[in-house]
Amino acid sequence: MFETSPRLEIYLERIKQNAQSVAKLCHENGIQIAMVTKVLRGNPEVARVFIEAGADMIADSRVPNLRLVGEHLPGVPRLLLRMPAQKQAEDVVMHTEYSLNSSLITLKALSDAAVKLGKVHKPIIMVDVGDLREGVWPDNLVPLIKEAAMLPGLDLVGLGANLACYGGVIPSVENMQILIDARDEARRVTGLELGLLSGGNSSGLPLLASGKMPKEINHFRVGEAIVLGRNVLDRSPWQGTRQDTIQVVAEIIELLEKPSVPIGDTGQDAFGNEPEFEDRGIRKRAILNLGRQDVVIEGLEPIDPGIIVLGGSSDHAILDVSDAHTPLKLGDEVAFYPGYGATLAAATSEYVKKSHSLIRAWKGEQMDHKPENDEKEFDPNWAKNLMAELKQSFSDVGDSFEKAWNEGKNDPKIKKFGEEMKSTFKKMGEDIEELFSSKPKE
Ligand SMILES: Cc1ncc(COP(=O)(O)O)c(C=O)c1O
């Protein structure tokens, strides 16, 4: 049967609304925005809604993700967030237009690659303004810029800083001023324009919204505030965004009553930790087909507030469902809002199915994993098999709707659920129409 869980559900329209809201804030303040796809593994459909929402460029930390974005959205400017490895220089120049950098040796490698490929690459030089992750110390910036300016394959477009990642340092007028002063000094000494000042990530949005962001800062790189709608300084909801953009869904594979404290002498668990347990007596516990290989279990917030996540191991998440608001049985699915780490892991795990506007995802997979002229991969029964799988899945979906309606027809939430499902299916219908509208090639 068609396996549908565990899965990551990506609500593209909601992400788009968030992207529009953050883009508006940035653009009204003269700031270009690079929207970051890395938490959803460079998903081209996400990149597409970012562009539709007003992104000026797409940023990601991995070259293969940006390559994928380029294949689906030719002409969209791409920024590599993680500093390139020297040996990666050719790939970086081939698949990105901009990259963040702090080392002359790597800049030389990028320049050589650009000359070889007949391109010009645009590095943004990172300055460490206090968070102690990437970036040259401000005092060492001018010598670096002087040398880098001589490299023929590069166009040094500007400087950047990153905060609230390693050291948790909050963006402030003071640390932004360090970046501005460093740029002014480099400009004075080298005569270069260095026009782009990339002030930061989602953590810079509160300073921007307060009206205190210095006007010289004209570029941001934003991921989490858009994708999950969070103020990353405290994970509270970010203004103008919604937080129900992504769900992780898994199936109950065991549902039994058990004590809440293990029996016997305890040592370390499978991950070398010594867990502690609260004695709540005998409880109804559910095990899901989802584990640490797929998500950060501690980063899962059950959508049903009566469910408690107890913990898990590589392949299992363990829940206390005694107080679940909806009665559960074996085979039922449980949904969660994942935090950043859980989203990142679920998007990366090959075992987690990716479901957003289903047909589009499928189309994407066809493009991403197309076998190259390998006739052995071709299954002559593919159409029949796919049709059988789809029919089975839709029959299961139909049963679930009927059950939901019978059990909760007086509940306004069920009505809302029905409305949402109607529009999801309408959208799927449109996608199918679009998919099959072009005549197949003979
Ligand atoms: C250098 C850099 N800039 C920007 C971002 C985006 O960060 P956030 O998701 O907090 O907006 C990241 C991380 O994804 C990053 O590493």
The atom number, within ligand 1, closest to the CA of 134 reads 1
From the candidates 38, 122, 353, 354, give the one annotated as an active-site residue.
38
Residue nearest to atom 5 of ligand 1 (CA): 201
CA 147 remoteness from chain centre: 36
The rounded Å distance from CA 380 to ligand 1 centre is 45
| Probe target for ligand 1 pocket from 46, 162, 205, 245, with the most ligand atoms within 8 Å of CB | 162
55 Cα–ligand 1 center, Å: 15
If you measure from the C-alpha of residue 221 to the centroid of ligand 1, how many angstroms do you get, rounded to a whole number?
6
Which pLDDT score is estimated for 390?
A: 75
Ligand 1, residue 227: give the atom nearest the CA. Answer: 9
- Which of 127, 196, 201, 344 best tests ligand 1's pocket when mutated (most atoms within 8 Å of CB)? 201
Sign of CA dihedral 227, 353, 386, 420: negative
Residue-wise pLDDT tens digits, 346-375? 999 999 998 754 434 434 444 333 333 333
Pocket (CB within 6 angstroms of ligand 1): 36, 38, 61, 81, 100, 162, 201-202, 221-225, 232
Degrees to nearest 5, angle at CA 163 with 159 and 169: 140
Question: Do the beta carbons of residue 59 and residue 221 sit within 8 Å?
Answer: yes
Closest CA to ligand 1's atom 1: 81
Over residues 119-137, the pLDDT tens digits come to: 999 999 999 999 999 999 9
Residue range 282-302, pLDDT digits in tens: 999 999 999 999 999 999 999
pTM of full prediction above 0.85 = no
Q: Is the pLDDT of residue 411 over 90?
A: no
Q: Which atom of ligand 1 is nearest to the CA of 232?
A: 10
For residue 30, give the amino acid letter. Answer: G
Per-residue pLDDT band for 23 (boundaries 50, 70, 90) equals: very high
* Cβ-based neighbours of 116, under 8 Å, separated by 6 or more: 90
- What residue ranges define each of the domains in the chain, with the CATH number in brackets? 11-237 (3.20.20.10), 246-338 (2.40.37.10), 382-442 (no CATH)
Round the average pLDDT of the chain to a whole number and report it: 90
Rounded average pLDDT over 30-46: 97
Judge contact between 342 and 296, C-beta under 8 A.
yes
Does residue 271 surpass a pLDDT of 90? no
> Based on C-alpha coordinates, what's the Rg of the chain?
25
Within 168-300, where are the H helices?
Answer: 173-190, 205-209, 224-227
Ligand 1 closest atom vs CA 201: 11
Closest residue by CA, ligand 1 atom 10: 202
Nearest to 212 by CA among 175, 265, 239: 175
In the reported structure, the alpha carbon of residue 313 is separated from the centroid of ligand 1 by a whole-number distance in angstroms of 29
Q: How far is the CA of 229 from the centre of ligand 1 (A)?
A: 14
Share of the chain above pLDDT 70, in %: 90
Please tell me the residue having the least CA distance from ligand 1 atom 2: 81
Task: Give residue 383 CA to ligand 1 midpoint distance, Å.
Answer: 42
**Residue 276, pLDDT score:** 87
**Banded pLDDT at 270 (limits 50, 70, 90):** confident
Instruction: Compute, in angstroms, the gap from residue 201 CA to the centroid of ligand 1.
Output: 5
Tell me the pLDDT band of 378, cut-offs 50, 70 and 90: very low
* Phi and psi angles of residue 426, each rounded to the nearest 5 degrees, phi first: -60, -45
Give the ligand 1 atom nearest the CA of 164: 10
By three-state DSSP, how is residue 329 classified?
coil
CA distance 382 to 172: 57
pLDDT at 51: 98
**Mutation test residue for ligand 1: of 35, 221, 344, the one with most atoms within 8 Å of CB:** 221
Residue 347 CB burial class (10 angstroms; 0-12, 13-18, ≥19):
buried
Quick one: which atom of ligand 1 is closest to the CA of 202? 11
- Our mutation pick for probing the ligand 1 site, out of 57, 61, 81, counting the most ligand atoms within 8 A of Cβ, is 81
Is residue 2 very low, low, confident or very high in pLDDT (cuts 50, 70, 90)?
low
- In a 3-state reduction of DSSP, which class is residue 317? strand
* 38 carries an active-site annotation: yes
Check the CA dihedral 426-361-97-123 and report its sign: positive
